Structure 1
Amino acid sequence: MRIVILCGGESPERDVSSASGRAVAAALLERGHEVVLVDPAASEPVLAGPLRPGDAVAAFAVPEEPPVLADQGAWRRRMHAALTGGPVLELLRGADVVFLALHGGWGEDGHVQALLEMAGVRFTGAGSAACAAAWHKGRAQAVLGAAGLPVVRRVLWGPAEREVPKAVRELVEQGPVVVKPAADGSSVSVHRVGTEEELERAAADVAERGLEFLVEPFLPGREFTVAVVGGRALPVVEIELTTPLFDYAAKYQPGAVRELCPAPVDEAFAARLQELALAAHGALGFGARSYSRTDFRCDADGEPMCIEVNALPGLTATSLLPLAAAGAGWSYPELTQRILDLVEG
């Protein structure tokens, strides 16, 4: 097949997406496809291609820190222009399938999906409506809670609120909390807050980034994630942390955490997590032709809570979806092929 891979993009996860795109390109070449690698936010959007089986793809190592967003405005202008006209749009229309290796921002909140839908371009992953539903963590948790899934109490904190909201202070008084962007990924700007000093640092980040943040109780228990591909829940992955939070550096630097698949839990608990992941997948509108990854953290009693659902989970060499796929007996190239096959139905 002729496949265009979209990666990079305009979000804080730009570097992660670049690594995912290159890994996907190498895997699809191994499966015998023709590939063009495109970063629609770059000044020269075609990064490589057309590549054919046997061609090499340079790897990309994710830096320890997310990219500085001073150029985000330019990235967005280029990305919108590329996806709505000109040679990049012609490339997308000429492809059999567009493989979305974008993470965060417009690549995961439904923007890109909506543009591709309007252009009549077939692409991997969920449609624009499901992506939009999952992207805002506060609204997604409200949907999950209404569907009967276990979620924690949460407070939204907007950048226009110059003082720390009373509801946030009340949560902090009850114990440590996690403060994170309500619509962002890869654990960028995530804070564990238990003191007044830590709360002030989080408040400064809220003001500086100009985003709506979500505040929820810090759950001290074990952390798990479950991927769903099509209608199948993959083996449970446990994330053993050496730090209080699974932050950006921990996610993308090899050896920063232990990730165990299958998770060392009894069959009943694993089956429960898989059932919850399938229910979350369905509640947010992900269908049988899409994939997702649901993150869980347990409270002090060991009860799992749904934290968020990822519409385009990472596909780097150290990402959790490929690890879960390996636990199911799938190689990385087989995983990319299965994602591609979902488009075909």
Structure 2
Amino acid sequence: MRVGVLMGGESSERSVSLRSGEAVCEAINQLGYEAISIDPCRLSDTLDALKSVEKVFIALHGNLGESGHIQGLLDWLEIPYTGSGLSSSSICLNKHRARQVLSEQGFHYAKWQAVHRSHNAEAIVAAAEHVGYPLVVKPTSQGCSIGVTKVSSPEDLSAAVRQAFDYDDNILLEGFISGKEYTCGILGDQALPVVQIRSETFFDWAAKFGTQTATYHCPSDLSPSEEQAIQAVSLAAFHALGCRGWGRLDIILGDDGRIYPIEMNTSPGMTPRSVFPMASREIGLDFAQTIESILALASFDPV
């Protein structure tokens, strides 16, 4: 079987995607299949490469790979691919839309306000005051915590908003949730063991990939009942958003005992530091076996 691995692309998450794709290619070759790396920078070259493969592993992160665009193309070409389809991918990448879907179904969220680049400074300040400080400013459609800033006072708001607008015309202001951070992978219809995230600083891009102050722990520090509750919420969110194949929900277990969804990742990172393979090892799957399990769930939606 020839498997096309889509990796790289032109999003702000290109470097992470390339590392994910390289690891996936190596695993596919170890399984005895043939991995074809495809960096979709030119449509004509991408189409030519896709004509030669039987399945596609999407290792693209951010725009294109998680927006539904590449999923729609693969649906049209009738090539089975890993992860969620066009509609659910586009919803999950847009944090505002995903929050609307999940909050309507009873999932817990802190206060938030959506802000567009066209809004004037007074409107943005008013939105922040409605949410309350401390708050978090983030681009609506970015992953890896790119452009995300914790704001503790009104004096710091303007700089954080400008940074978020560097990556997206739409941003979110959301209340800061005091608690512990966790993430839960989904493989098929199974919630994987929960991974605890510990960071000495605010868990932003630098903590993940820069200074790498964040550490990841599986098994986590959760009690059995807390673990099961987070797994149940993660699987319920996965289904509510129409996801399939695999994914990963980032959450905060608040000091108030509530579970707050943060983001559903439809193409989780698969670098050596990634948490999804860490969790799958806890159920007896090594990296290559995890990739094989994800590939076995590949499908497409008839156009």
**What TM-score results when the alignment is normalised by the length of structure 1?**
0.83
- C-alpha separation between the residues in 2 aligned to 1:207 and 1:259? 30
Structure 1, gaps ≥5 residues long: 42-77
CA shift, 1:145, in A, is 1.2
| 2:284 paired residue number | 329
Letter of the 2:196 partner, please give it.
E
Does residue 269 of structure 1 match 2:246?
Answer: no
- C-alpha separation between the residues in 2 aligned to 1:223 and 1:252? 17
Which of 188, 198, 201 matches 2:146?
188
Q: Is the 8 A contact 1:251 1:319 kept in 2?
A: no
Q: Is the 8 A contact 1:254 1:318 kept in 2?
A: no
- C-alpha separation between the residues in 2 aligned to 1:322 and 1:308? 18
- C-alpha separation between the residues in 2 aligned to 1:188 and 1:162? 23
Structure 2, gaps ≥5 residues long: none
Which of 68, 91, 114 matches 1:156?
114
Q: Deviations over 1:5-58 (max 9, x none)?
A: 1100111000000000000011111111111111111xxxxxxxxxxxxxxxxx
Q: Is the 8 A contact 1:134 1:284 kept in 2?
A: yes
Q: Is the 8 A contact 1:223 1:298 kept in 2?
A: yes
SS in 1 for 2:285: coil
- C-alpha separation between the residues in 2 aligned to 1:37 and 1:182? 29
| 1:120 paired residue number | 78
Name the structure, 1 or 2, with higher relative contact order (CA <8 Å, separation 6+): 2
SS in 2 for 1:108: coil
Q: Is the 8 A contact 1:171 1:177 kept in 2?
A: no
**What TM-score results when the alignment is normalised by the length of structure 2?**
0.94
Does residue 169 of structure 1 match 2:128?
Answer: yes
| 2:176 paired residue number | 218
- C-alpha separation between the residues in 1 aligned to 2:299 and 2:116? 41
Letter of the 2:110 partner, please give it.
V
Distance change in 2, residues 1:167/1:142 (3 Å): farther
| 1:55 paired residue number | none
Q: Is the 8 A contact 1:171 1:216 kept in 2?
A: no
Letter of the 1:168 partner, please give it.
A
Computed over aligned residues only, the root mean square deviation of the Cα atoms, in angstroms, reads: 1.7
Q: Is the 8 A contact 1:158 1:206 kept in 2?
A: no
Q: Is the 8 A contact 1:8 1:18 kept in 2?
A: yes
Distance change in 2, residues 1:207/1:248 (3 Å): closer
Distance change in 2, residues 1:239/1:171 (3 Å): farther
